[in-house]
Chain A
Amino acid sequence: EDKVVQSPLSLVVHEGDTVTLNCSYEVTNFRSLLWYKQEKKAPTFLFMLTSSGIEKKSGRLSSILDKKELFSILNITATQTGDSAVYLCAVDTNYGQNFVFGPGTRLSVLP
């Protein structure tokens, strides 16, 4: 059975801290790995990773994929209270026809 695991499940930090969120997967077919941020409404897309070792970066957020070890990390530097959200990791296992989601990491950034 395809599985996506995220850790930690919840995390509390203070503004200015740097956090690393982890996502590991066991799937039959891997197409890509995606990160989403979910605040009060639906998830918003952050990154899509398909190749190992190539960092994707957007402002204070960055992510990288290791297809050999089957994991990805999402880094957030200089965290702000607006970064508080649930961060979801998902794996596309069938060319956009099937996405397996992890349970999410709930990040709380305190002022």
Chain B
Amino acid sequence: GAVVSQHPSWVICKSGTSVKIECRSLDFQATTMFWYRQFPKQSLMLMATSNEGSKATYEQGVEKDKFLINHASLTLSTLTVTSAHPEDSSFYICSARGGQGAAMGNSPLHFGNGTRLTVT
């Protein structure tokens, strides 16, 4: 089945530094990947839709310059949290659509395992 790999699974960084999170589709090509943020005991909050070869589409309220998204290939999207602050600490999850039925535009989202970011 479709596998999405996300790395790192957890990261601790100091305030003011930047952190890059990678999301890879391992056995399928993903023209579109999604980045979510999740706070404890809350549902997924879509941050942005990442399209291969073009600029990401950000949801309202998500700072583009703060959360840089690059989708340079059909199997890799990256999210960089720039100048991280403690309030950016959260669980970040990527997902991609793929697997059986993808060619017909009818396939489920598959999620990476998430990255827990802690900014001190």
A contact residues vs B (CB 8 Å cutoff): 31-32, 34, 36, 41-45, 48, 50, 86, 88, 90, 95-99, 101-104, 106
Q: Give A59 Cβ to nearest chain B Cβ, in Å.
A: 16
Rounded to whole angstroms, the CA-CA distance of A49 and B85 in the bound complex is: 40
> A32 and B109: CB pair below 8 A?
no
Query: Do A97 and B106 form a contact, CB below 8 Å, given A42-B6, A43-B111, A106-B41?
Result: no
Cβ contacts under 8 Å, B97 to chain A? 96
B contact residues vs A (CB 8 Å cutoff): 6, 32, 34, 41-44, 46, 49, 93, 95, 97, 102, 105-114
Residue of B nearest to A35 (CB): B108
> A101 and B114: CB pair below 8 A?
no
Rounded to whole angstroms, the CA-CA distance of A78 and B36 in the bound complex is: 33
Q: Give A34 Cβ to nearest chain B Cβ, in Å.
A: 5
Q: Give A31 Cβ to nearest chain B Cβ, in Å.
A: 7
What are 26 of the A-B contact pairs (CB < 8 Å)?
A32-B108, A34-B108, A41-B113, A42-B6, A42-B93, A42-B95, A42-B111, A43-B44, A43-B93, A44-B111, A45-B109, A45-B110, A45-B111, A50-B106, A86-B43, A88-B43, A88-B44, A90-B109, A95-B106, A96-B97, A96-B105, A96-B106, A96-B109, A99-B46, A101-B46, A103-B43
**Extra 8 A-B pairs, beta carbons < 8 Å, given A42-B6, A96-B106:** A32-B106, A41-B114, A44-B111, A45-B108, A48-B107, A96-B105, A101-B44, A104-B43
| Complex partner residue of B49 from A41, A42, A95, A97, CB under 8 angstroms | A97
Rounded to whole angstroms, the CA-CA distance of A47 and B102 in the bound complex is: 15
Rounded to whole angstroms, the CA-CA distance of A102 and B42 in the bound complex is: 10
> A102 and B109: CB pair below 8 A?
no
Rounded to whole angstroms, the CA-CA distance of A44 and B4 in the bound complex is: 11
